[in-house]
Amino acid sequence: MNDSDATPELISEDDARDQVETYLKNRYHEFDKVKFASCTLRGTGTDAIYTFRGTIILKSRGTLERFVAEKSAGKYQFEFEISAADGHVINYVFT
């Protein structure tokens, strides 16, 4: 059997989840915490993709904002797609 026939080793769900958190921390300085609601793996081999859904919570910008802004003002739903082959971010959406 040659190497091209071998099934590529995929990163674990935990490693992919860590990639999402690292990406958020590096990209959004107001990042406070992330709550994951679900994870699915679709595809096979190098085409396999993890899809994470959840909520990101951003830090409040100031004391006054805590009293004036809605409680949900700093919460956003997200969907992230992470390559299961190498862990890079393929796509993400906030709503």
With residue 16 as reference, give the H or E element that holds it.
Answer: helix 13-27
Q: What is the pLDDT of residue 58?
A: 84
| Boundaries of every domain in the chain | 8-94
With 0.85 as the threshold, say if the pTM is over it.
no
User: Would you tell me which CATH number, out of the four given (3.40.50, 3.30.2410, 3.30.70, 3.10.450), belongs to the domain 8-94?
Assistant: 3.10.450
| HSE, side-chain direction, 13 A CA sphere, residue 28 | 19
Cα–Cα distance measured from residue 60 to residue 57, given in angstroms and rounded to the nearest whole number: 9
The pLDDT tens digits for 13-62 are: 999 999 999 999 898 877 788 999 999 999 999 999 999 999 998 877 66
